Amino acid sequence: MMVTINKSIGVNVCISLVAFSICLLIGYSIYIYTQQSPEVLQKGTKSEYYFTFYNQRGQKISELDGMLKLMTDPFTIYTNYPTQKSSSYSINKYGFRDGYTSDKPYTAIVLGGSAAFGFALDNNDETFASKMSQSNKKYNVINSAVIGFLSGQELSQMVHYLDNFNPSIYIVFDGWNDIYDPYLFAKIWPMSYGPIGFHNVFFMIENRLADYFQITRKDKHLKVASLEQIGEPLTEKEYFQKILTTYISNIGKMRSFANSRGASFLHVFQPELGNKRILSQSEQEILSTWNEKYKYRDSRITEKYRDLIRIAKDSFLEKNIIYVDINEDAAFSENSQTLFFDVIHPNELGHEIIAKILNQALSDKF
């Protein structure tokens, strides 16, 4: 016996499938990110740093119930949702993580990803940006960092948003995401494309849009032509070179833009656990855990990041870009205490040491 399906029911089913696909997109991107932090995740399954996505009208577009709210953005793919609060952090109306400020003559703005944002810290004032403000008599330091950002997103954020605050200096704290995210995305060689300079969630959004078109197009019988895929296949060596070229270019553009707007510019290579010279017992266990679960050492991410820093430094010296490498500062790298939650997120003591290093750099170099 043949059962006839009402047309409106079929349409509703299609709409439900589309909605479910979009939820899968956001859920998968969150899953990928949270898998990067095994040590942090031990704090509980409802960590306040689990996140979810909204659109700019405040409509939730993710099924997961992370407390940290991110929203889609036309220039940076996504950003912090403004005016939100938990027991560990608060985000102000501009999308910045709150921290210590007072009446001072100059403003410094920190850009970066989750390490600069202060992932897993217990409160706003534990971030290095806030600690810098507390002890610096000259600068109020604003934390504009967003979890997962790469250098291209930081460049966009600087041009489209942060310039409105007329800072005296930009402090760009990054490097690791520009290596880790492209290699997290790359599964086989050669690769014809990858998230180089921006977060891989962009490609997931593209894929869901293509799926949406296939579900909703009117004539299902006509074959839809596809264009040839853009980009030449890249070997791993060529892929790394493209990452490096893009990263150096983005930092150079940020410095040029800052200077053209009357602001100074300080670049900071963020610390990574594998490049720390003296490891505590806990830090050794973190590295072992990450290798067991994510093949971190086997993927040679530490070495790739070290190579990026080395080559970028040569370029920055030629271009007179002022930089600080936390990985080479003995106060951090040769400290035998535990300074990390995982391979990339400093704990409060780590942030405190970073704040001292950067305040000294501001005093010496500007």
Give the CATH number, domain containing residue 357. Answer: 3.40.50.1110
Structure token digits, residue 59: 């409509």
Q: Which of 112, 358, 160 is nearest to 261 (CA)?
A: 160
204, part of any domain: yes
Q: Is residue 122 predicted with pLDDT exceeding 70?
A: yes
Q: Classify 52 as helix, strand or coil.
A: strand
- Mean pLDDT to the nearest integer, 63-76: 91
277, part of any domain: yes
Q: Return d(Cα 323, Cα 186) in angstroms, integer.
A: 29
Region for residue 77 given its phi and psi (left: phi exceeds 0; alpha: psi -120 to 50; beta: otherwise): left
Q: Which of 49, 29, 279 is nearest to 290 (CA)?
A: 279
How high is the pLDDT of residue 259? Answer: 98
- Mean pLDDT to the nearest integer, 93-117: 95
Other CB atoms within a 10 A radius of the CB of residue 58 amount to: 9
What share of the chain in percent tops pLDDT 70?
A: 87
Report DSSP state, residue 191.
B
153, part of any domain: yes
Q: Is residue 23 predicted with pLDDT exceeding 90?
A: no
**Mean pLDDT score across all residues of the chain:** 88
How high is the pLDDT of residue 116? Answer: 98
Q: Classify 309 as helix, strand or coil.
A: helix
Number of domains in the chain: 1
Q: Is residue 57 predicted with pLDDT exceeding 70?
A: yes
Q: Is residue 45 predicted with pLDDT exceeding 50?
A: no
12, part of any domain: yes
How high is the pLDDT of residue 228? Answer: 80
How high is the pLDDT of residue 36? Answer: 43
The pTM assigned to this predicted structure is 0.86
The tens digit of pLDDT for each residue in 175-207 reads 999 999 999 999 899 988 899 999 988 888 888
How high is the pLDDT of residue 220? Answer: 75
Structure token digits, residue 108: 């410094």
Q: Return d(Cα 33, Cα 257) in angstroms, integer.
A: 30
Domain coverage including residue 277: 7-365
278, part of any domain: yes
Q: Return d(Cα 35, Cα 214) in angstroms, integer.
A: 31
Q: Return d(Cα 141, Cα 337) in angstroms, integer.
A: 26
DSSP states along 86-119: -SS-EE-TTSPBP----S-SEEEEEEESHHHHTT
